[in-house]
Structure 1
Amino acid sequence: MTLLSLAIRFLVLLFVISEVVGAPQGKTPSAGQFIPLTRRNQPLRNVSDWAEYAKSLRDATIAKYSSRHVQKRGTGENLYADLSYSDFYGSLAVGTPPYSFDVLLDTGSSDMWIASSACQSMCAGTGNFDSTKSSTFKNLNKNFSVNYSKGYAAGTVGQDVVQMAGFKIPDQTFAVVTTTATNFLRNPVTGIFGLAWQSLAASGAMPFWQALARNGLWNEPLMAFQLTRFSNDSKAGDLEPGGSFTMGYVNESLYTGTIDYQDLPNGQASYWLQEITSMTVQGKPISLPSGSASYAAIDTGTTLVAGPAAGIAAIYAQIPGSQPGTGSWEGFYKYPCNTAVMVEISFGGPKWSVSPDDFVFSSTGPASNECYGAFYTITASGGTPSWIIGDTFLKNVYSVFRYNPPSVGFAALSEIALAMNGKAGGIPSATLGAISATSTLETSAAPTTRTSSAVVFVISAFFVTLVSFVEV
């Protein structure tokens, strides 16, 4: 092992310790907190499984952004896509006393939704919410229901204390689902935490993050994501450290250079919209329309990248040997696996690269040289964005979502952030995310705190690093 690689591993460990135990004053503001993310690894699949998975992802994205659900988009159209297939999630706590739940952090929707303990076998194994155990829960006597292309969810709307990353809203409105289609949820995720703007919320409620920012409870009016990559790691476990999510500040150790902010087009505070101003594939520019026809939703709750048929076709036209998929692969394109595809996207500032590792969605088998790309076709209508930019892109940048002025920022990942890709470590436990706060898990009578779980995470990271040194 080289001295440089040893130094990078040491810096990664220092980052974990500083984030969890507390960074020096000025680096992590008192009104800014971090929570670790967990990444759920994809299961092993055969050729037919991959085809069905691809179709499900495409159907789910269409359902999430379908014009048929414009008035209900934030309530759950995303759940079929996000809860079943998305990779990254964090934790929050609800009620008095507070109970912890794993939820997907979704910048593509605005409502909070968690499964109720009354959901019984359909939601089994997800640590569901029991409103009768919370002394502060209020039933708003408002029904909640949503249909999907392959499922449904229904329940009621209520209010309760919600805490995340050390911040608290005493009367947050959210949906408590009591029934879903069979096998609708995947353990351990219990629900979704919408991080888009209030205008998308079917409940009409102001999202948790927006209330914090509007009321000046953050040192800086922004939140940020760093996502890790395990898709090309054959040794990845079922659950792996997924990166971090910060509220109220940016972690300067995770990016390099400056953050390039681009305002939301025309101040449209709904989705986190950006206009794609240029795109190159294999170094060659592709033709894109200007204005709203190239608006893209920056969506942490979407796995891949979806776009209009003409734009997607133009991408694959630059890849020799590519062909459109058929059957379950409709909307996707296949291309030779030995081609390293490099895509660069600009939103009015620098060009941001998508790694060839992320451009590959799947291969059709070990004996084949046929891969399918992570960019696929959907049809936008009814004012929904033409492009959906998901984790395929976001794993390659440090992404920042700013309240005022409403904008999205990207920055290049630092060596410390890049060194986390494919590195095993302790899996973050469900906590409040505040050093001084205590969160009681439903499955245990013993309280857990961010400090105690953080120590486990640091010890695990140190053990992995130590083992690596010994192996060398």
Structure 2
Amino acid sequence: MPLVNTLACTRRSAFERRSPTSEIGLGDYLDVAYSVLVDVGGTELPLILDTGSADLWTLSRKAPLPTGLPYYMDTAFQVVGVAANILYGDSRTGTQARGPIGYDSARITEFSLQSQYFALVSSTNTSVTLTGSSGILGLGFPLNSVIWNTLVNARYSSQRRTTRFSNTSNGNGSNLATRVFPDLSFVVPPLEGKKDSLLRAIDSQDAVVAPTVEQVLETFSLYGPPVSRLSATGSLSAPMFSVSLQRDTFEIGGNAGSLTLGALPHGVNESGVMWVNVRLYSPEQGGLAAPAASPHELYPLAWEIPVDDVYLDGQKLPRSNLSSSTLALTALIDTGSSLVRGPQDVLSAIYTILGSDTYPCAHAHTLAFSVGGRLFPVDPRDFGSQTYDDTPTICTPNLAPADTPAGGFLYSWSLGDPFLKGVLAAFYYGNLTYPSRDPPRVGLLSTVPTDADAHLVNAVDDATAAHVMLPATMEPAPPGMSNASTTDAQGVPQAAPGGRNQPLASAATKRPPPPLMLAIIFSMWAVWALLLS
């Protein structure tokens, strides 16, 4: 099989290490999608930053592309004979991206990778191009990567298996993808007291040997997503990255959007960061089996962290009755989602407290998540979005129901961009092959100012007095550092008010004209339907 020969010759592929840490600014499409420039095969492409998935893919020039959108020049794309079928979303979306897997060089900030595997997508129903992006940069763990899964399966099977991911049902009878969960059953767990030849499963028809856990672990640094590969090979100062998201709606400014590899942003007060361990999945829960040398190992699948409780305006919300009371409450930290998603019955309780599914924009509401005993609020300016009528007075909460955990992933909440605009979030891979030696963690540092309520009221009052809509703009991913005008008391860089780029309309209104506004509204809902992960 050609793939096997290709993989063998790239086993010694080198990583070009230029510096232990690096930082780059982010683009922002109306706060529903954030992008970063990634060089793929010599072309800089704006790719959506997604901690909720683990795959790198770019649009093919064969796909319908808007005029002016850069695309990957596939002249050096080395196909390997298998394709990826990447599923996103939940029972309400079911979006997908499909295309052949191959490899080429890639570079993120100052870090270069040779023979980086990715999918060249020619068929997708995602709304990536509406955001001015050319694909997606998944920042998750290798075990949750469709590309990694497909390549490992293909290496150990002549049957060219495609994606081995299961779509668990949410109990509503939907046949759409709900929880896109990896199937790791093809890996052979150690059998104590057996000879090596008996540790592997043999396909009776093709005499194909299935991989052992140890063999699978070796593939992380070869087939894994780009940033996890940098971490696995020690190319970063620390096996981590950090993200801060800017605000380009309601009141433009907030944190300076950035992706930092190998560290927290320079100058950040590290003592204020709250670190919590990522959920690890046992084999019984669908996780990877432990290697013989470390029989008690458990492995992470996603950036999923424990949550103590959830509060609205200081009132503790009830736990969901839709999932088992014995299931630990956890949340996915997901830059690829433009909403905060939670259990349907808990969201109903929120709407009851609000009195409706809309609310006056000037009324400050605080949705807060207790993590590690510390409250992390959603900035009240990010809790809702203006309802597009004629005035900047009515808002709709940036909330959506999540599928009930029932097999597959076990998180009940997905904390997307509304939450992440109010924190500096750090993602620490730790030891990917032996997590017990250095567990994966997520660090959070709240950046919501104490006077956020006053900022919200002033923004609404200013727009109302001027008879204009609330501000909104979009900015492309910059080639270098984010444009920080200052830092907050914790050292987190802050964006210049008004953003780096000119707004869509005049500086007075910072709103696009009506025809463009309708197109943008449609685009926003289309992107919300994307709901990566």
TM-score range, shorter chain: 0.5 to 0.7
- Give CA-to-partner distance per residue, 1:118-169, whole Å, 9 cap, x none: 22x356542111211x3xx311121234577576543210011111011111
1:28-177 matches, within 5 Å, as: 30-41=19-30, 86-95=32-41, 98-119=42-63, 121-122=64-65, 124-132=67-75, 134=76, 137-145=77-85, 149=93, 153-177=97-121
Aligned pair 1:269/2:300, yes or no?
A: yes
Tell me if structure 1 keeps the 8 A contact 2:276–2:306.
no
Match of 1:412 among 446, 468, 472: 446
Aligned pair 1:387/2:333, yes or no?
A: no
> Which residue identity is paired with 2:69?
T
Distance 1:109 1:426, change over 3 A: closer
Distance 1:200 1:274 in 2: 16
> Which residue identity is paired with 1:164?
I
Distance 1:174 1:217, change over 3 A: same
1:6-405 matches, within 5 Å, as: 30-41=19-30, 86-95=32-41, 98-119=42-63, 121-122=64-65, 124-132=67-75, 134=76, 137-145=77-85, 149=93, 153-181=97-125, 185-186=129-130, 188-204=132-148, 205-233=223-251, 243-254=257-268, 257-266=271-280, 268-288=299-319, 292=327, 294-319=329-354, 321-322=355-356, 333-363=357-387, 365-366=389-390, 370-380=394-404, 381-384=406-409, 385-404=411-430, 405=439
- Give CA-to-partner distance per residue, 1:214-259, whole Å, 9 cap, x none: 11111122110111112114x89xxx99611100011143567511
Q: Which ranges of structure 2 fall in alignment gaps of 5 or more residues?
A: 1-17, 149-222, 281-297, 431-438, 460-470, 482-495, 508-533
Tell me if structure 2 keeps the 8 A contact 1:284–1:318.
no
Shift of 1:412: 2.7
- Give CA-to-partner distance per residue, 1:51-80, whole Å, 9 cap, x none: xxxxxxxxxxxxxxxxxxxxxxxxxxxxxx
Shift of 1:304: 0.9
| Aligned residue pair count | 344
> 3-state DSSP class of the match of 1:186?
helix
- Give CA-to-partner distance per residue, 1:77-123, whole Å, 9 cap, x none: xxxxxxxxx3211011112xx1110001100000101011222x356
> 3-state DSSP class of the match of 1:288?
coil
Tell me if structure 2 keeps the 8 A contact 1:355–1:396.
yes
Distance 1:253 1:138, change over 3 A: same
Shift of 1:278: 1.4
Distance 1:268 1:318 in 2: 39
Q: TM-score, normalised by structure 2?
A: 0.58
- Give CA-to-partner distance per residue, 1:306-336, whole Å, 9 cap, x none: 11112212323333x22xxxxxxxxxx3234
Partner of 1:330: none
Identity of aligned residues (%): 26
Distance 1:407 1:182, change over 3 A: closer
Tell me if structure 2 keeps the 8 A contact 1:41–1:230.
yes
Distance 1:410 1:147, change over 3 A: closer
Distance 1:409 1:292, change over 3 A: farther
Moved more, 148-157 or 190-199: 148-157
> Which residue identity is paired with 1:199?
L
Distance 1:147 1:358 in 2: 28
Let me know the Cα RMSD of the aligned residues: 3.6
Tell me if structure 1 keeps the 8 A contact 2:342–2:412.
yes
Shift of 1:367: 5.2
- Give CA-to-partner distance per residue, 1:374-425, whole Å, 9 cap, x none: 122122343232211100000001100011220111013398xx99x98999
Shift of 1:463: 12
Greater share of strand residues, 1 or 2? 1
> 3-state DSSP class of the match of 2:311?
strand
Distance 1:287 1:37, change over 3 A: same
Shift of 1:181: 4.9
Distance 1:124 1:241, change over 3 A: farther
Distance 1:36 1:366, change over 3 A: same
Partner of 1:58: none
Distance 2:477 2:128 in 1: 24
Greater share of helix residues, 1 or 2? 1
> 3-state DSSP class of the match of 1:117?
coil
Partner of 2:172: none
> Which residue identity is paired with 1:127?
P
Distance 1:36 1:348 in 2: 29
Distance 1:462 1:190 in 2: 20
Shift of 1:275: 1.8
Distance 2:395 2:364 in 1: 11
Q: Which ranges of structure 1 fall in alignment gaps of 5 or more residues?
A: 1-28, 43-85, 323-332, 434-456
Distance 1:367 1:209, change over 3 A: closer
Distance 1:362 1:299, change over 3 A: same
Shift of 1:371: 2.7
